[in-house]
Amino acid sequence: MDVFLQTLVAGVLKGGLYALIGAGMTLIMGVMRIINLAHGQMMMVAMYITYVCFHYWGLDPYLALFISMPALFLLGVGIQKYTLNPLLKAESLLPENQVLMTVGIGMVLTEVIRFIFTSNYLSVKTGYSDAAFFLGRISFSVALTIAFGIACAITAFLFWLLVKTDLGRSIRAVAQDEEAAALMGIHVERIRSTAMGLGAALAAAAGTLLLPVYYLYPDIGGPFTRRAFIITVLGGLGSTVGAIGGGLVLGLAEAFGATYIGMASEEMVGLIIFLAVLLFLPEGLKRLTRV
């Protein structure tokens, strides 16, 4: 029973971070109608930024959020503005070709980071990296618990932004009907860039929060792009609430897979769920929750 509860806790804590990654990709998916296959790589860049902040300036990873998130916001805006928006203007290309562009961007990000930092494994060891507290006999990693709290706060902020502000309404309007949004006087290209920036900043938050308990190497982006993809499909492509549910499901599935099947099968469990969702619940969790 203890093992079960312990796994549950680990899964939920990790799921909170996955939800952030998924919400970011979903935001991009909703507005651009493409899967951003550079999502994990953007997150990886944010992790390196956090590493540099910590290693060279002694900045705590949680404070580094204030650097990594704005930095990735700008990177996302730049990528949209200078690489993806021009593609949309070429009439001979289908909009889906943006997906290929994101694959290329992911490779470039990975190789630039490898060039600067080499392929060595790096890690950020803080005083609380290995610390834990106990409730009953269940241990909670201090770092992951704090990360989970911050992830919840960021998610709440995202919802407030989407529901209550003009920017959020504009983002949802562009997602639902781009041409009608333009007729409202919304600058559609700017909204696209902003949505990409926000999505990248959310991935950055997840990366930075994960770093105290994770190791870091340039190719770490790939697995996280796959996870983000699985979460987005689980959530039903474009549903933010669904993506948060998808993040939790994937976090739990990986935790239970690691505990009861074996550490090596962590990623496999996620992919099996992905296949099962495609086969049996192609509309994702959205179908169950209707939001």
Partner 1 sequence: MLEVDGIDVFYGDAQVLWDVGFEVRPGELFVLVGANGAGKSTALKAISSLIRPARGRIQFEGEALHALEPHQVVERGVVHVPEGRRLFPEMTVEENLLLGAMTRRAKAKRRSSLEWVYELFPRLQARRRQPAGTLSGGEQQMAAVGRGLMGQPRLLMVDEPSLGLAPILVGEIFSIVRRVHEEGVTTLMIEQNVQQSLAVCDRACVLENGRIVLHGSGQQLLHNDQVRAAYLGL
Residue 123 is classified by DSSP as E
The pair of three-digit structure tokens given for residue 16, joined into one six-digit string:
């909170």
> Stretches 21-29, 68-76, 118-126, 175-183: which one binds partner 1 (CB under 8 A)?
175-183
Contacts of residue 95, Cβ cutoff 8 Å, sequence gap at least 6: 33, 34, 87, 88
Contacts of residue 254, Cβ cutoff 8 Å, sequence gap at least 6: 11, 14, 266, 267, 269, 270
Assess 92 for contact with partner 1 (CB under 8 A).
no
In the complex, least distance from residue 88 CB atom to partner 1, rounded to whole angstroms: 14
Alpha-helical segments (H) within the chain: 2-32, 39-57, 61-79, 85-89, 97-117, 142-164, 166-176, 178-183, 188-210, 221-235, 240-260, 266-280, 286-289
Assess 89 for contact with partner 1 (CB under 8 A).
no
- Residue selected from 1, 134, 166, 264 as contacting partner 1 according to rule CB under 8 A: 166
Assess 119 for contact with partner 1 (CB under 8 A).
no
Assess 186 for contact with partner 1 (CB under 8 A).
yes
In the complex, least distance from residue 26 CB atom to partner 1, rounded to whole angstroms: 15
Tokens 């492509």 appear where? 237
- What is d(CA 21, CA 24) in angstroms, rounded to the nearest whole number? 5
> Stretches 52-60, 94-102, 172-180, 250-258: which one binds partner 1 (CB under 8 A)?
172-180
Q: Is 135 helix (H, G, I), strand (E, B) or coil?
A: strand
Assess 290 for contact with partner 1 (CB under 8 A).
no
Assess 43 for contact with partner 1 (CB under 8 A).
no
In the complex, least distance from residue 286 CB atom to partner 1, rounded to whole angstroms: 12
Q: Which residues of 80-96 are buried (b: 16+ CB within 10 A; e: fewer)?
A: bbebbbeebeeeeeeee
Assess 183 for contact with partner 1 (CB under 8 A).
yes
Assess 182 for contact with partner 1 (CB under 8 A).
yes
Assess 165 for contact with partner 1 (CB under 8 A).
no
Assess 185 for contact with partner 1 (CB under 8 A).
yes
What residue ranges bind partner 1 (CB under 8 A)? 166, 169-170, 172-173, 176-177, 179-188
